[in-house]
Structure 1
Amino acid sequence: MNPEIPNRKGARKVDDIPDEVLELLNKGEIETANLTEWLAIDQVALITETFPSIGLEEMVQPLQEKLARQKKPSTMNSVKLVGEEVYEVSAKTNQTEVIFQNLLQHPSDTVRCYAPYLITLNNAYSIEEKLKRIKPLVADKHFGVREVVWIAARPFVDQELAKSIQVLSGWTSSGDENVRRFTSEATRPRGVWCKHIESLKENHKQGLPILEPLKSDPAKYVQDSVGNWLNDASKSRPAFVAQLCDRWKAESPTQATQKIIKRARRTIDKK
């Protein structure tokens, strides 16, 4: 392997990805360096190369066929499809835990993206257990895994919102900014690439146990998420967001809080 590959910045366009890099990505031997590479992964090639070594060889052909039949193929849809299928098969063979660990420890970030579905879809786990089991993925060093895990968890967070907020509010004091960011991102009232949480669109106060501890978070990654949460809320309850921002401005006169407030009010301030 070219010694420069592990430390590459990643191409801006798919066509500019070097052939050697794309080959290694599709073999599951290296992680993607940016969103362009993440979107360029050939899911069929990836599962063909990696699944035999993690006990899923029999799934390769059926998955190849199902991926080819997708009506709206995309990286996110393909990841979801593969994750769901792997859960169904592993559950029938009582190999869910073994397969989960194989996925969790895989060097390919895209292969790790399949892992959260083996936990979130398992009805034997309570919401508290689901959140606990996916926490290593929440803290994953790769952005793609972190995005997929909150999307995979969100429907179940919505179903048991009160219990989820109770658990996630405890995560707001984590020393890992990725974990803190998950607490707000997974509970955004509107969010992106996902179904809205109707309960939070109407009653935003439910989210305060998560938002309050993060109002002056030092990490930009978290600040942006909290600001986006409140901007979502402002589209249905602008008065609530305006009042909260005013209170935070008085209670927490920090640069971090000011950045969150500015992002939170961007829809309000356009009117």
Structure 2
Amino acid sequence: MTQAKRVGARSISQIAPDILQQINRGELATANLTEWLAVDQVALLEHQLHLLERSDYLPKLLAQIREQKKPSTHSTCRVIGRTLGRLCLQHDDEALLQQLASHPSDMLRCWAAYAQPQTSLQEALRYIYPFARDEHFGVREVAWFALRQQIIDELDEAIPALADWAATDQSEYIRRFASEATRPCGVWCEHITRLKEQPELGLPILTPLRRDSSRYVQNSVGNWLNDASKTQPQFVEALCQTWLQEHDCPETRYITKRALRSLHK
């Protein structure tokens, strides 16, 4: 019998102490954003590195965590992941990366996503792929955050690579990654100036998704174009009109309505 999906608490204060303890020990995955934001990553790190026999990595990790100017759950996740990546490279510790990437705790998999070595874009995409299609929402979000800067820096190479994911991959999570990772403005991340000024550059990614059957993907495409409408409203208006003429179907109507929501208030 399939186990029922656990419903997370609506506020941090409502998280049951035993649930939070299991999360902070890496024994239980978070069920929603509230729980994800409540994770004591230092406690989790100390407990899991002890179990994984890597306690000697702790001093460097704790020092990096303390050096944060404006710590948050996400920034701490990034610092831990990137520091672990450097330590694994320094110690030739591929085994730890594999343990983190397959761990039942979503936060450890988030660390693993950020632990990718500084490599070519194609290698980085291959590394991030399993995290981008992870069953846990938090890991999927961290996956595109982890690659965002490299995508910005290598946009001309990133667009065709992600366009292939958008057009051919069977996973809605991967198709959504292609759109979400290239949103011109995005959420809590650096904007992509070139796509704000020239959103047509993103068409190889967006066009295959214009009538995608997944609401998860539809929301991302609509949000992508809504971002673009802030700087290039005429482009978005014209594109939505063209898409509706080509495919007047429920999926495209939903995407275009979401894309035009700021312009048609």
Q: Is the 8 A contact 1:230 1:241 kept in 2?
A: yes
For residues 98 and 160 of structure 1, the distance between their equivalents in structure 2, rounded to whole angstroms, comes to 29
What is residue 170 of structure 2 aligned with on the other side? Answer: 175
Q: 2:225 aligns with which of 208, 230, 238?
A: 230
Which one-letter code corresponds to 2:220 in the other structure?
S
For residues 55 and 131 of structure 1, the distance between their equivalents in structure 2, rounded to whole angstroms, comes to 29
TM-score, normalised by the number of residues in structure 1: 0.93
- Once the two structures are overlaid, the 10-residue window that deviates more, 179-188 or 50-59, is 50-59
What is residue 59 of structure 2 aligned with on the other side? Answer: 61
* 2:108 corresponds to 1:114: no
Q: CA deviation at 1:69?
A: 4.4
Q: Is the 8 A contact 1:55 1:99 kept in 2?
A: no
TM-score, normalised by the number of residues in structure 2: 0.95
For residues 5 and 236 of structure 2, the distance between their equivalents in structure 1, rounded to whole angstroms, comes to 42
**Structure 2 residues without counterparts, runs of 5 or longer:** none
Which one-letter code corresponds to 1:162 in the other structure?
D
What is residue 36 of structure 2 aligned with on the other side? Answer: 38
* 2:64 corresponds to 1:73: no
Counting aligned pairs with the same residue, the percent is 45
Give the alignment of 1:125-204 within 5 angstroms.
125-172=119-166, 173-204=168-199
Which one-letter code corresponds to 2:176 in the other structure?
R
Q: Secondary structure at the match of 2:223?
A: helix
Which one-letter code corresponds to 1:256 in the other structure?
E
For residues 103 and 198 of structure 1, the distance between their equivalents in structure 2, rounded to whole angstroms, comes to 34
Alignment: residue pair count: 262
Q: CA deviation at 1:8?
A: 2.2
What is residue 88 of structure 2 aligned with on the other side? Answer: 90
Q: Is the 8 A contact 2:83 2:115 kept in 1?
A: no
For residues 55 and 182 of structure 1, the distance between their equivalents in structure 2, rounded to whole angstroms, comes to 34
Q: What RMSD in Å do the two structures reach over aligned CA positions?
A: 1.5
Q: Is the 8 A contact 2:162 2:178 kept in 1?
A: yes
Q: 2:247 aligns with which of 248, 252, 262?
A: 252
For residues 142 and 134 of structure 2, the distance between their equivalents in structure 1, rounded to whole angstroms, comes to 11
> C-alpha offsets along residues 158-211 of structure 1, whole Å, 9 cap, x if unaligned?
111121111111111211111110000000011011101111111111100100
Q: CA deviation at 1:267?
A: 1.3
Which one-letter code corresponds to 1:236 in the other structure?
T
What is residue 101 of structure 1 aligned with on the other side? Answer: 98
